[in-house]
Structure 1
Amino acid sequence: MPDNVPFDQGAVVTDAIATPYHAITARGKLQLGETVAIVGCGGLGIHAVQLCRIAGASRIISVDVDDEILDRTKSVGATDIVNPKSGNTADKIKEITEGLGVDLALEFVGHQDTIALGVESLKAGGRLVICGLGPDDISLHPPNIFVRSEYEVIGSYAFERRDIAILLELISSGKLDISGSITARFNLEEANTALEHLRDKAGKPIRIVIVQE
């Protein structure tokens, strides 16, 4: 690990940042200038916003039901925010993209409704990458929608070893700033308290780290 990358930030890279990185690059194949919708902006989604900005997306639309979380995404690179509670989300995304839809939708929830939203947000020939792990079966739109619009639906899981090295270099060079990603720190003796903090979502944590002083 580079000497100028703090150990706790290095720990956060695994999963929280490497998982969306893999989804964006290896699976979603985001290209410079493309438009993106990110559905679910918790610990993975908010880092997806940052990574899409670094990759050169022209429009980054973050979608979440929590206004505070949406505001966080604006601070790290989202060009537009949409709260599904305020109306038809797919229509708003189409409006933002001048009626076209997005090139790439990233889904980090794993629910029927959010996956369907990902499909509805796409432009013709668009790609939906599903990262969310939900417990329930899902059903999507009739097949003719995928055939005629040439949609791609892609699964993405975890990351590759090389992703870690790339991300650590981005942090080391200052291109990726994750200093705000650690929203709480606990000593090893406070591990149970840390788990309770995470369970209760106290302060809407992005990532919590346990350190040994």
Structure 2
Amino acid sequence: MTHTIDAEAGDTADLPETMTAARLETSTGSFGLHEVPVPRPAAGQVLIRVDAAGVCLTDVHVLDGSLRAFTPDGGPGHHITLGHEIAGTIAALGPGVPGAWRAGQRVMPMSRQRCGHCAACTSMSGPCASLRTLGMDVDGGWAQYTLSAHHALVRVPDELSPEAASIVPDAVTVPYRALIRIGALRAGESVALWGVGGLGAHGVQIARLAGAAPIVAFDPRPQARLRALELGADLACDPADPAAPARAAALAGSRGFDLAVDFASRPEARDQAQSLLGMRGRLVLAGVCTGAIAIKDFGRFYDREHTAAAFLGYPLEDLRRVAGLLTHRRLDISASVTRVYPLAEAERAVGLLAGGASAHVRVVLRP
């Protein structure tokens, strides 16, 4: 059965009445496929037919309960559709969507979207006070259709496959923000990265593109270290190797590392990063961290004028710039999608990443 979105709501499109979605019951942790109504776009919203959606370790941790605090619990029976890495095609427009958007365009929605209503949004004076993450705060893209605010969309570069495009809003744009925007990486500076999986592998590419030298990658997985070297790292170490810090320090030289980025979200990674930072070194926490963030040696941190920074989300301009880098072939993510599953096998895709031993950059679902 189908229904038609009327012309007052934007483009007219024949849509199915229901769709399949992979959903989490927030109060119990139960996860599975559900048949749910296809949503209608409200004012300022765009309905996207999902072409591909990435599976991220954040999704794995939401499902295993370690990041459940990031997903509001609406009580018994409350479900959320997971998935914050999305590429799709505009199926319908809600009222008030600017004319630049139309049905049939391929788009990538930002994984974290501003509300558009708070004082910071309406005055354009700063970051949104109520950022909403797709697949956590609102329904995401592990479904046949999903909604997005029109102001959170970027066109998919023509040459990019749906699978590759789906990982851009998170696995590529987050490391871009970590290194270039927050880390303020400059050509000739040294950088060390902890965790070179889904985000960190692209971090290596971005660091090399920015002219960083040297680039050192830390990861316990041999395959991930090999991939980091292939992508442009000068050295790849197992962080558990007692000789690893000395090898990295020798490569950086007496000045130490200018920038350290933690994609691993592990306390031992942050401790190791702090010990290798040089004068006025910057530590950026790019992964989703839980628990306490400790300064291992405050005297050293203080004397060397270290800084530590974290961030949540990114402005639309960052996603646009990354799309530009892909359009003009400054970045190549053609090999980043290492496995594709149908939506019906979402649990299998999650299980592939849950063990922690996988060196896959990104696993993607196709509805």
- The two structures share one fold, judged by TM-score above 0.5: yes
2:324 to 169, 173, 180: 169
Is the strand fraction higher in 1 or 2? 2
Specify the alignment match of 1:147 in structure 2: 302
Per the alignment, residue 250 of structure 2 pairs with 95
RMSD: 1.7
Specify the alignment match of 1:51 in structure 2.
Answer: 206
Give the corresponding residue for 2:184: 29
In structure 1, how many angstroms separate the alpha carbons of the residues matched to 2:208 and 2:201?
11
Deviation at 1:171, TM superposition (A): 1.3
CA distance in 2, matches of 1:98, 1:79: 14
> Are positions 1:205 and 2:363 aligned together?
no
Matches within 5 A, 1:1-213: 1-200=156-355, 203-212=358-367
CA pair 49-152 structure 1, distance change in 2 beyond 3 A: same
Q: Contact (CA 8 Å) 1:111, 1:136: kept in 2 or not?
A: no
Q: Which has the higher helix share?
A: 1
Task: Give the letter for the 2:264 counterpart.
Answer: V
SS of residue paired to 2:317: helix
The change in CA–CA distance for 1:4 and 1:93 in structure 2 (over 3 A counts) is: same
Contact 2:284 2:308 in 1 (8 A): yes
Mapped partners of 1:3, 1:132: distance in 2 = 30
Alpha-carbon displacement from aligned partner over 1:133-159 (angstroms, at most 9, x marks no partner): 333323223432122111111113332
Amino acid at match of 2:315: E
Q: Could you say if the C-alpha distance between residues 133 and 172 of structure 1 is closer, same or farther in structure 2, counting changes exceeding 3 Å?
A: same
Structure of greater Rg:
2
Distance 2:260 2:300 in 1: 16
- How far residue 187 of structure 1 moved from its aligned partner, in angstroms, is 2.1
Question: More relative contact order in 1 or in 2 (CA 8 Å, sep 6+)?
Answer: 1
Query: Partners of 2:234 and 2:297 in 1: how far apart?
Result: 32
Q: How many residues align?
A: 212
Question: Segments of 4+ in structure 1 off by > 3 A?
Answer: 200-203
1:18-64 residue CA offsets vs partner (Å, 9 max, x unmatched): 11111111110000111100011111111100110111112110011
Percent of pairs identical after alignment? 29
Q: Distance in 2 between matches of 1:36 and 1:191?
A: 35
Q: What secondary structure sits across from 2:313 in the alignment?
A: coil
Shift of 1:119: 0.8
| C-alpha distance in structure 2 between counterparts of 1:113 and 1:141, whole Å | 10
Following TM superposition, by how much is the alpha carbon of 1:201 offset from its aligned partner in structure 2, in angstroms?
5.4
Task: State the distance in 2 between where 1:8 and 1:194 align.
Answer: 14
d(CA) in 2 for partners of 1:141, 1:150: 14
Structure-1 separation of matches of 2:312 and 2:264: 13
Task: Give the Cα separation in 2 of the matches to 1:201 and 1:185.
Answer: 18
- Could you tell me how far 1:125 is from its partner in structure 2? 1.2
* Helix, strand or coil at the partner of 2:240: helix
AA matched with 2:252: T
Which blocks of at least 5 consecutive residues in structure 2 are unaligned? 1-155
- Cα 1:163–1:82 change in 2 (3 A) is same
Cα separation, 2, equivalents of 1:32 and 1:163: 19
Query: Which sections of structure 1, spanning at least 5 residues, go unmatched?
Result: none
Structure 1 residue 202 displacement after superposition: 7.5
Distance 1:198 1:81, change over 3 A: closer
After TM superposition, the score normalised by the length of structure 2 is 0.55
Instruction: Give the TM-score normalised by the residue count of structure 1.
Output: 0.92
